[in-house]
Chains A and B, each alone.
Chain A
Amino acid sequence: MTVVATTTSYAGRTVDIELMQSVQTLESPQRMELSFSAQATRIVTGAQKLIQRYALLFLSTIGTVRFDMAQGTSLIASVISGAVQTTGGVNIAFADANQRVLQQLVEEDQQEDLFGELPDDETLVNAVLISTDIDYAQATLFMRILLTTAAGDNIVFVLPVTATR
């Protein structure tokens, strides 16, 4: 299993604003801070951008985005409501959410006329839940996820889901 290093070559790539400004390491349990004001805005591309898109769609709650009620998944709602109580429940919730995210990414990535061509190493072909950890003190579920790109790259990152409201 390979962890892809941070993309350094921005030539010919499209960029996005880096959302998870405080995440320096992809594969260790840590809290994410959305702190645009804390430091200068940075841009992101390549693997980091793919992870970011995946995470943003994965953590968006379906039905909450105006004018795109189909965007997101029901994972956060399931976790917060207590519907996910076992490891098996996490697997089921992940499978459902992952399917929705993959579908949304594929639909969007096909619109090359509007968005341009997407490099293979930013094109997601599959995502798998490798393992989960629960930090009861923080009421946080950590999901270790493996993304596979069209270029054959494997990316592992940890996605925290806090169950407190």
Chain B
Amino acid sequence: MAEAITLSDVDQDAFDAAETLLITLLREENPTLDARKGTVLRDLLIRQTAIVVAADNDRYDQLQARMSLNALREDPTAAEPDDVNDILSNFLVSRNPGELSTGSIQIKVSGVTGVTLAAGTRFSTLGGLQFALSELVSARIAPDLNAGEVPLVASDDGTYYYFIAPAQSVEAGADYNINEGTVLDPSTTIYGFITAQAYTLFAGGVTDETITEAITRLPTAISHRAMESRRSIEAQLRDQFEDSDITIQALSTQGYGDLTQLRDKHNPMGFAVGSRVDIYARTFVAPTTVTILKEATLVAGSYVFTLAPADAPGFYAIRSISEPEAVISPDMDFGAVPVLGSYAFTEVRSAVGVADTFHDIDASTPAEAYFTVYQQAVVTLTGVAPAGTTHTFKVEVYVAPGLDDIQTFVDSDQIRNLEADQLVRCPLICLVGVNVMVYYDSRFPVDAAQLEQDLAAYINTRSFVPRLMRSELASILHSGGVTRIDMTDTGFELSGTINDAEGTTHVLAGDSLDITTIEDADALIADETCVFAAEECNIHVEIIAE
């Protein structure tokens, strides 16, 4: 933390240098001045001035360090975030601040007596990560929903009651993206408390953007700003959303002549014309989900519900469908979509609400609406025994947060390119699973959890690239202190699952997860439309001392 330098901050070396400089300069200007120790000049004038000069020199050094992004990259503690932003403001950008991780907590209690928890009530993981309730929560057996109360639900076996409370991390950071089912302890006494756990995957936590990352954005930031080129579109969107809750991690724009641009061939001859643009916005670091409760209706022996655009705008895929009470253990999962433990289901997506817009989306080609805010999905659960004409399910959906806000901005009259039709899409997410066995020198222990975090962080920053290779991850592991990696097929498993815009699930595995091997323009699969992402629960590092 850089603070203002005062005279008391001057150290001996700085003083000595300043004093010598002053004596030298004074004697050069006036050789007759005696500045030896014991003279009045030295003790009363030069010495005091030297302290001020030394402080000024320190201030100058500090200022110089604060004026250089390269210097700050070497020593980020030399300046406040505002100082960095002051420099970046010259390029019309500021550093992306970290984001809080949000989710919900399932709290189990023993009695039917209502429970009220104040906003800010803390819960913490065994590792010390702290979360706080986002709002006051009053759970009642017979809740007054109009008064904001939430239901206190009896468990299936009647042995306990539970309620769901929204929460967010106390601090920003990707570390706070904890898995569903993570045990949480309250910091205060809750009457009848039994246990608490993450009801949903906590997501959205982003670590502060580093100076290096901000520097890489500068070319885009100083480009011409109009919604007409890849760079300028990115500049415009980043500028608009940099101070918002929406973090644009990466953008890919598909336009005239690009492989996955389907909408520019809407003519009898089927040849491509300009003015159709698809913007794939990665607005997440780790995969982000929203959890919603959907009431399904029994139709022909199966429960059916519709996932509307408002439920999860531009969602990528359904992660799980389960009973409202259920918490699916992430340890049983390895990057599958849907995750193990989910009810089986089928979904049919279609375009909706397009008629009210100027967007050119062919409703007869479902892929054109996939991953946009104009898609809806009719979901049919298979293999769920009927238990009433309606039934409520807990639905987890992978989303790109803020997609609807970005689409609204792109469509705004003040911004939109009058000659273009720009549609925002959630990127296709290749969900990565890693299972690796590594060895380390017993004299220099390594932390498996840290290695898993490092791998996840690396994968989650690989956006719109054609492939992810084991060798890349191996280098991350080596830099984390491991001495040897079991590179056999069973010693280092790497897999990726990706859903395309035709409803097909592709599984990649082996030395390299290569998007180009499954490239399919009609299904919107290309390296310019896909991103790699990993949940930490799908990264398993086994460490062995040797």
Chain A positions within 8 Å of B, measured between CB atoms, are: 10, 13-19, 45, 49, 52-54, 56-57, 60, 65-68, 71, 104-105, 108-109, 111, 114-116, 118
Contacts and interface: CB of A to CB of B under 8 A. Distances in A.
A66 B32 CA distance: 26
20 contacts: A10-B32, A15-B34, A17-B40, A19-B40, A52-B38, A52-B39, A53-B37, A54-B38, A56-B38, A56-B40, A65-B47, A67-B15, A67-B16, A67-B47, A105-B37, A108-B37, A111-B36, A114-B24, A116-B27, A116-B31
B11 to A, nearest CB: 9
Contact of B23 (A18, A19, A56, A115): A115
Interface in B11-51: 12, 15-16, 19-20, 23-24, 27, 31-41, 43-45, 47, 50-51
Given A66-B51, A67-B47, A53 B15 contact: no
B40 A105 contact: no
A13 B37 contact: no
A37 to B, nearest CB: 14
Nearest to B54: A67
Contacts of B36: 53, 108-109, 111, 115, 118
Given A17-B40, A115-B34, 9 more contacts: A13-B32, A15-B34, A16-B33, A17-B45, A52-B38, A56-B43, A108-B37, A114-B24, A118-B36
Interface of B: 12, 15-16, 19-20, 23-24, 27, 31-41, 43-45, 47, 50-51
Interface of B is mostly: helix
Contacts of A104: 37-38
Nearest to B23: A114
Contacts, number: 73
B39 to A, nearest CB: 4
A18 B40 CA distance: 7
B33 A14 contact: yes
Contact of A53 (B19, B38, B50, B51): B38
Given A53-B38, A105-B38, A15 B47 contact: no
Contacts of A115: 23, 27, 34-36
A58 to B, nearest CB: 9
Given A104-B38, A105-B38, A67 B51 contact: yes
A14 B32 contact: yes
Nearest to A109: B36
Contacts of B47: 65, 67-68
B460 to A, nearest CB: 52
A-B pairs, 7 with minimum CB distance: A53-B38, A14-B34, A108-B37, A16-B39, A17-B40, A57-B38, A67-B15
Contacts of B39: 16-17, 49, 52-53, 56
A123 B345 CA distance: 101
A49 B34 contact: yes
Contacts of A53: 36-39
